[in-house]
Chains A and B, each alone.
Chain A
Amino acid sequence: MSDTATQGTGRRAWYEPDAKLKRRHAADRRLRAYGVAAIVFALAMLMTLVGTIAITAVPAVTQTVVTLNVEVPEGAVDASDPRGGSYQKILNESVARIFPEVDTPREIRELRQLFSNGGQYALRDKVVADTSLIGRTFEITFPLSDIGDQLHKGVIDRDLPREQRRVSDEQIGWYDRLVEQGRISAPLNWGLIFNADSRFPELAGLWGALVGSFYALLICFLVSFPVGIAAAVYLEEFAPKNRFTDLIEVNINNLAAVPSIVFGLLGLAVFLNFFGMPRSAPIVGGLVLSLMTLPTIIIATRAALKAVPPSIREAAIGVGASRMQTVGHHVLPLAMPGILTGTIIGLAQALGETAPLLLIGMNAFITAAPDSMFNPSTALPTQIYIWADSPERGFTSRTSAAIIVLLAFLVCMNAIAIYMRKRFERRW
């Protein structure tokens, strides 16, 4: 046909492109350009998102602290019961020694606002740990309050008129004196990780949320991994193919698409109201999350089992392995990389899930890390939710920092999934 066409025109050799071919190539190039543009767009959005969060989070990397000379008088603290001391009073006296001219009640109140409420606990813990400090003068370092911290980080604009500023002129003056005396510094903010939650941003940390998320994910894994694999193996390897198993399959796929808040409602109704399990506890959170993760794991496991070549099953059955042996010795080990990948991705999803945890009360305000999975606690995403809702300026950067921590965990989990897939991948 092309032969006759060439002969018909009589001019073009077979290798010279015609307009149609050029259009085809142009279409190819256009399609490729669309693809590249889409990826660039997606990357730009991602960079903007992560970049914004990271920039907002920068102030939370350090925490402004003040170092004071504290004298603990013999009478103020009882050595046999150091916890009972009136440490706030001791601190107040130390502050008063630095600023002797401050005497009106209003000024005293404003002065004390510069220092964190956590100072007394820092002092108490220090004295409790070493009762020989009683009766001596020593240095103690503790956080400035939110406004002090914001002043130090320049978040509060000193040039604004007084009415629009959260700190008074006197407070700025006192702060500057502390700086002059070299009492202010800003070390790395480990409290953000190792403190539990607090009303005061300078004291608030993620430890409770981290422990809560860990317990919840542990429960989620312990429940959904074995159950998911068992269900998938049964459905894939043993179940007869009939209407009923088709129905189950459709429903599993539907479950994977159910909005997570619905699982939260289910958890609220079943685990809390019916079984009377403790509110806000990681165990309930884990159970709810495992309901959500189960379909993901089942679907991933079934896909992984399907990917094992039937010739391996035939080989095992051919030498007389029972069906259970075939699955246990050959099919499941070969499917394991895929199963683990799916599981980790499911768990990563669960780690970032907020809505169901809100419904079972894991957004409670809890100032201590849970001792067990039965104690009330928050989780990382709900902690972010709580902080994002808090009015104090210090929580703005801490919310972003918490998001970074959450993202870091997610990236780690996905990295592990990729590593496992590469590491255990077998060829046949």
Chain B
Amino acid sequence: MLDTTEASGMVMNKTAEEAGALAKAVSTAKAGHETKIAASKVSVFYGDKQALFDVSIDIPERQVMAFIGPSGCGKSTFLRCINRMNDTIDICSVKGTIEIDGANIYDPKIDPVLLRARVGMVFQKPNPFPKSIYDNIAYGPRIHGVAKAGSAMDEIVERSLQRAALWNEVKDRLDQPGTGLSGGQQQRLCIARAIAVDPDIILMDEPCSALDPIATAKVEELIDELRAQYTIVIVTHSMQQAARVSQKAAFFHLGKLIEVDETDKMFTNPSDQRTQDYITGRFG
């Protein structure tokens, strides 16, 4: 149960700024991975209600960044800002800037359709299209005009499924509906679908919450492999998962970014008391 009072909310405003500054410091300090996504003072409103308060964070390329925090803390909301998924919600408005490779994605001249081709997304519940496995993968490349039907498309489908470690399981039944696969396979199919349009970034919103431990292990293994090519941001409720798959972690609380750090450090020696409390299971 969240027992945070309004009084502590005031303190948090201050710490959020500190955390933002801290995030910058950390990302520049750890060289080798350049910043892929740079968010600055991102606030999100649902109607009159503010869901996210001045979040500033730098996400490095070719690493896995985990967003953790209790339910309703705004981590999913922030994740959905990165591919402008929130645009589909009428009452939602976003302030601040998010830059991908130096371009602000909320710039009016950015087309969200192109953005989402570069920033793939995997959702909490596996949501394959009720079409064949082949068509699930081929849909993205087809609408973006990457490949027409035929051998070029076959190649994309095979490559995507192989990268998602699903090829061997489904290669003989590509024409069967994607909805007929098991939950874990469906989620890997969704990952393959996201990969098929050749994005730089993959956003994952609690991708394993609907899966059993074995399927979860497979997806985590896959995430670890994909890290070599893609920048991955994953929202998770599982501390163990965050510890297993991520190199960096960000802790959100009540719509504010509290702390960003190397995952190892955050889980052993967090700098904020609330992070400590959350990780050790005292709330959330």
Contacts and interface: CB of A to CB of B under 8 A. Distances in A.
Contact of B117 (A316, A320, A428): A320
Interface string B101-118: 000000000000111110
Interface string A207-242: 000000000000000000000000000000000110
B128 A315 contact: yes
B129 interface: yes
A318 interface: yes
A311 interface: yes
B197 A312 contact: no
A248 B194 CA distance: 38
B250 to A, nearest CB: 22
Which among B83, B130, B140, B196 has the greatest number of chain A C-beta atoms within 10 A? B130
A321 B123 contact: no
A319 B123 contact: no
A321 B115 CA distance: 11
Nearest to B139: A319
A329 B144 CA distance: 14
Given A240-B90, A314-B123, A334 B113 contact: no
Given A320-B113, A428-B179, A315 B140 contact: no
B125 interface: yes
Which among A240, A309, A315, A426 has the greatest number of chain B C-beta atoms within 10 A? A315
Nearest to B124: A311
B120 interface: yes
Contacts of A44: none
A321 B256 CA distance: 31
A315 B143 contact: no
A330 interface: yes
Which among A240, A309, A314 has the greatest number of chain B C-beta atoms within 10 A? A314
B63 to A, nearest CB: 22
Nearest to A242: B90
Contacts of A314: 85, 88, 121, 123, 127
A313 B130 contact: no
Interface residues of A, number: 23
A28 B190 CA distance: 48
A317 B129 CA distance: 12
A241 to B, nearest CB: 6
A334 B130 contact: yes
B248 interface: no
Interface in A276-316: 309, 311-316
A24 interface: no
Which among B88, B115, B120 has the greatest number of chain A C-beta atoms within 10 A? B88
Interface in B252-271: none
Nearest to B91: A241
Given A320-B197, A321-B143, A315 B190 contact: yes
Nearest to B114: A320
A148 to B, nearest CB: 64
B75 interface: no
B188 interface: no
A315 B90 contact: no
A162 interface: no
A428 B194 contact: no
B216 to A, nearest CB: 19
Given A320-B113, A325-B143, A427 B179 contact: yes
B143 A320 contact: yes
A322 interface: yes
Given A241-B90, A314-B85, A428-B179, A319 B120 contact: yes
B62 interface: no
Interface of A: 240-241, 309, 311-323, 325, 329-330, 334, 426-428
27 contacts: A240-B90, A309-B127, A311-B127, A312-B127, A312-B129, A314-B121, A314-B127, A315-B128, A315-B190, A316-B129, A316-B139, A317-B85, A318-B83, A318-B120, A318-B123, A318-B194, A319-B139, A319-B140, A319-B194, A319-B197, A320-B116, A320-B117, A320-B140, A322-B113, A323-B88, A334-B130, A426-B130
Given A311-B127, A318-B120, A319-B116, 13 more contacts: A315-B193, A318-B83, A318-B194, A319-B139, A319-B140, A319-B194, A319-B196, A320-B115, A320-B144, A321-B139, A321-B143, A323-B88, A428-B179
